[in-house]
Amino acid sequence: MGKLILITGGARSGKSSLGEKLAKEAGQEVLYIATAIPFDEEMESRIKKHRETRPANWETVEAYKDLDMALCDKINNKDAVLLDCITVMVSNLMLEKAMDWENISVAEIDEAEARVMVEVNKLMNIAKKSETLFILVTNELGMGIVPTSKLGRAFRDIGGRVNQLLAKEADEVYFCVSGIPMKIK
């Protein structure tokens, strides 16, 4: 099995920069998995900035689900796979099925979490089978106030459980604060 590194932290904490640095250090052949969907002008701008910072020779796959299929023939001969970011992947998976989040039942939240976990487990399975370094970037969601909306609470809780699973499986975990990475595992 290749090595798995998880990088977590708050918004604009330096997570992506650390992920890119570690991927560059691994070698020239990097597969970048972008999970964001450009749903508005601001998101398009963020995606554009991320594209501009990546080396031109990095191969990019834009996907947030069925990553086992998207990656199976692309990770051979790669030095590293960098996925940025798990949190956006979780958000996309939660919102792809139309649901009334303000009137959602506990059973429906559990169903949404199960869909997310299926995709996270697909990613973990391909990472475990590979000899390639996998670097996963995520946001640390649970350090703020309790969200007032059901959607916000469900997102925070599901994202937190995903992060716990990934951190447990990871060989190394970094927590970024104000651009300073701290190795916590």
Q: Residues with catalytic annotation?
A: 50
Helix 150-169, helix 86-95: angle, nearest 10: 140
Q: Compute CA 4 distance to the chain's CA centroid, rounded to the nearest angstrom.
A: 13
Cβ pair 135, 83 in contact under 8 A: yes
Q: State the Cα–Cα distance between residues 104 and 125, nearest whole angstrom.
A: 31
Token digits of residue 130: 């590979």
d(CA 19, CA 15): 6
Orientation of helix 15-26 relative to helix 41-53, angle to 10°: 30
For 42-97, give the DSSP string.
HHHHHHHHHHHHS-TTSEEEE-SS-HHHHHTTTSTT-SEEEEE-HHHHHHHHHHSS
Query: What single letter denotes the amino acid at residue 121?
Result: N
